[in-house]
Amino acid sequence: MGVRRRTSLSHWGAFEATVEDGRLVAARPWADGGADPQMIGVWPDLVYSESRIDRPHVREGFLRDRERAGGEGRGRERMVAVDWDTALALVAEQLQRVHAEHGAASVFGGSYGWSSAGRFHHARTQIRRFLAAAGGFTDQVGNYSWGAANAILPHILGDAEAVSGAATGWETIAAESDVVVAFGGLNPKNWRVTSGGAGHHHMPRHIAEARRRGVKFIIVSPFAGDCPEGLDATFVAPRPNTDTAIMLALAHQALVEGRPDLSFLERYTEGHEAFLDYLRGAADGVPKTLSWAAGLCDVPEAELSALWRTIRQGRVMLTASWSLQRADHGEQPFWALIALAAMLGQIGLPGGGFCFGYGSLNGVGAAARRGFVPAMEGLPNPAGSAVPVASFIEAFLNPGGQIPFNGRTVVFPDVRLVYWAGGNPFHHAQDLFKLEAAWRRPEAIIVHEPWWTSTARRADIVLPATTSAERNDLGGSSRDPFVFAMPKLIEPLAEARDDFVIFRDLADRLGCRTVFDEGLDEMQWLRRLWAKTQARGGRAGLDIPSFETFWKDGLWAVPAPDAPEVLLEAYRRDPEAHPLKTPSGRIELFSRVIAGFAYADAPPHAVWREPREWLGAARDGELHLVTNQPEKRLHSQLYQTRRKNAPETVEINRRDAEARGIGDGDVVRLWNERGACLAIARVGERVRHGVLVMPTGAWFEPDEQAERLEVNGNPNVLTADRRTSALGQACAALSALVRIEPYRRDESKSEAD
């Protein structure tokens, strides 16, 4: 067979794969794309990991007693290897049973998760298509990444584009901005990843260009790691979750100095008077002054005042990372940032106004034409049932329960069967010990996974899926100027099958195969997807290669746009000709629609509300736990390739460490009323006092002896299963208080409180 080199794609970048005698032996970043060599280099370890699932498996009790087995044995009982026919017959039988006895909404199949790159084989898309074809299911709406923004932005701007795709181009920042204020910072680790996968990792270059022109950067974050190295930025380190107060105070300062751009507010916004009244403290008697904010965020007033002086003139780009809205009342910092930008009057100008996510994902603000990476088609869900994505634990525990959600009432279905492919809820959900309890409730749990993740180990039926190296696909990201072919590199390992093939066989058994696959096989689907790219190119007047040429070349470079994008540029140019899709057609600083909802935790204009857990409410010894994205993983993906067998690290300020007798490198125990986990302490000055920073993504591994103790360092045993507000019902993981101490094994049992 010899040696072959092929290009392929992962969420962490395009790569060159070397295949020797049918075995993937090496991977390195593609061309000069700038992907992280270490993350790419572990591809062979990932594919041939010991944690690969070789065959279908069924939990022992479930194999014997089916749905009557109860959920107690999940994660405890032995998993028994079975042949594909037995496994598929079991899955089909369970789906039919639940449909017949309880109805389609009792099948929970939202299956949230990033899956792998590749548009056709994208597991979450495939499972939702299959379950829709099979009669319906309960879906999950929104996402963990920017769920709160997704709910609030349409009320303010008419749609959620400003977080889902649109962004002011970095070229305009490098060329026009005087100042960039980055709330939540610009952490370079996050630029390693793009949803869908990227050819170019452009951010370091853009930052360097901006620096060369002398753009001033201000990083607002409790963590100095959020500042790219070599960037001579001013650093403001507030308490977590207090950014809204700072933004409001800056807006108030603009007001008292007579600097708000009144002509902008009048022409382009709706309801600014109500917002300005709030800043003045008309109703609550609290003017939102710099000293008011200084007290809340615990930053000297002089620093906030210096921040104000930096942004009161010149071209100013205000940006917030997505992390800000993954917290209690996470809707508010995004609304407050838009309001502040409106006061400064630069929305719609190159290098000015506001933008979300420059520090969150590679490709935000990249020069790329959107819409050329074809999306795999979904099917309408006949059950019409869906819950907000982060509410699923509550849904499992509380069938028939109701929650308010963005002006509606969601009624939780009676979940009997859970089907997950392409996601890892024992990574992404909050309060994982609570999830463990909720996970026992359904009668049947089915998971497709390439690896024995914590979720796969807690299923009744596990079907081994291929990785993207083992199938043909195409992929890319709308935030990147390429569409990549992803040719099959190697044959499937052991008995692994593609999610598509598994669902096709199940659809066959359930009598819905033609609805599901439309009579097309893998390569025919890829051609059909490519035809969408061609059609789109035709409309744009571009000449797009044939599928054969694309496949042979391995990629197609999407021509660069004629001019860099500027968020809301057309609206600014002519608001009458390009009204926003809000009720007023303008940027809503006060929303009558939200007023109509009458939610106590989401008023009709941007406000400061105390988070339920934050340093302002900390009891003795409690610290604020920030759980951010891991540096060299994608969530829980790549964890299986780690070299050392030690828990995840937690960064702690020297002052807090010394007060607790914690030294650098010590094993520590973090705990609160929800649970406890272990970690290795990194002691230093990067994180502000009172705050701990711990990445997500360690595989959930409860200790066998101690109660509610997790040993790999998965911080989601500590975060609260509470959502941002009735408006967003989104993940609020970043509002959590914990205690920390040196770990001594024998003490751990008695101290779980």
Residues binding ligand MGD (CB under 6 A): 113-116, 121, 123, 144-145, 183-185, 187, 189-190, 192-193, 220-223, 226, 240-241, 243, 321-324, 326-327, 359-361, 421-424, 427-428, 448-451, 453, 465, 499, 626-631, 633-637, 693, 696, 715-716, 719, 731, 733-734
Instruction: Select the binding partner of residue 631 from Mo ion, ligand MGD, none (C-beta < 5 to 8 A, by kind).
Output: ligand MGD
Between 123 and 711, whose beta carbon lies closer to ligand MGD? 123
Q: Are 40 and 198 in contact (CB under 8 A)?
A: no
CA distance 232 to 189: 18
Residue nearest Mo ion, Cβ-based: 145
How far, in Å, CA of 511 to CA of 49, rounded?
36
Residue 530 or 614: which CB sits closer to ligand MGD? 614
Nearer to ligand MGD (CB atom), residue 39 or residue 657:
39
- Return the ∠ at Cα 586 (arms to 584 and 589), rounded to 5°: 95
Asked if 145 is part of the footprint of Mo ion (rule: CB under 5 A), the reply reads yes
* CB of residue 193 to Mo ion, shortest distance in Å: 9
Residues with Cβ within 8 Å of residue 65, at least 6 apart in sequence: none
Shortest Å, Cβ 242 to ligand MGD: 7
Shortest distance, position 433 Cβ to Mo ion, whole Å: 23
Query: Which CB sits closer to ligand MGD, 197 or 450?
Result: 450
**CA distances for 608 relative to 176, 213, 264, angstroms:** 32, 36, 24
What is the pattern of x (binds Mo ion, CB under 5 A) and - over residues 290-309? --------------------
Locus of tokens 């010991």: 50
Q: Is 645 exposed, middle or buried (0-12, 13-18, 19+ CB in 10 A)?
A: exposed
Smaller CB separation from ligand MGD, 69 or 160: 160
| Residue 150 touches Mo ion, criterion: CB under 5 A | no
Q: Is 424 in the site for Mo ion (CB under 5 A)?
A: no
Q: How near is the Cβ of 116 to ligand MGD at its closest, in Å?
A: 4
Q: Is 114 a catalytic residue?
A: yes
By beta-carbon proximity to ligand MGD, the closer residue of 270 and 449 is 449
H helices present in 158-300, as ranges: 161-164, 170-176, 203-212, 243-256, 262-268, 272-280, 290-297
Long-range contacts of 295-299 (CB under 8 A, 24+ apart): 296/239, 296/242, 296/245, 296/608, 296/616, 297/238, 297/239, 297/242, 297/243, 297/245, 297/246, 298/238, 298/239, 298/242, 298/615, 298/690, 299/236, 299/237, 299/238, 299/246
**Considering beta carbons, is residue 140 or 533 the nearer one to ligand MGD?**
140
Q: Among Mo ion, ligand MGD, none, what binds residue 670 when CB lies within 5 to 8 Å by partner kind?
A: none
Q: How far is the CB of 578 from ligand MGD (least distance, A)?
A: 29
Minimum CB distance to ligand MGD, residue 293 (Å): 13
The yes or no reply on residue 362 touching Mo ion (CB under 5 A) is no
**How far is 689 from 705, CA to CA, in rounded Å?**
33
- Which residue among the candidates 12, 43, 114, 530 is catalytic per the annotation? 114
Partner interacting with residue 733 (select from Mo ion, ligand MGD, none; CB below 5-8 Å by kind): ligand MGD
696 binds, among ligand MGD, Mo ion, none (CB under 5 to 8 A by kind): ligand MGD
Residues 403 and 599: beta-carbon distance below 8 Å = no
Interaction of residue 629 with Mo ion, rule CB under 5 A? no
DSSP string, 120-171: SS-HHHHHHHHHHHTT--EEEES-SSSHHHHHHHHHHHSSSHHHHT----HH
586 binds, among Mo ion, ligand MGD, none (CB under 5 to 8 A by kind): none
- Contact partner at residue 241 from ligand MGD, Mo ion, none, CB < 5 to 8 Å by partner kind: ligand MGD
Active-site hit among 30, 112, 639, 743: 112
- Non-local (6+) Cβ contacts of 659 within 8 A are none
Region for 620 from its dihedrals, namely left if φ exceeds 0, alpha if ψ lies in -120 to 50, beta otherwise: beta
Least distance to ligand MGD, CB of residue 282, Å: 27
- Element containing residue 503 per DSSP (H, E): helix 499-510
The catalytic residue positions are 112, 114
Which residues of the chain form contacts with Mo ion (CB under 5 A)? 145
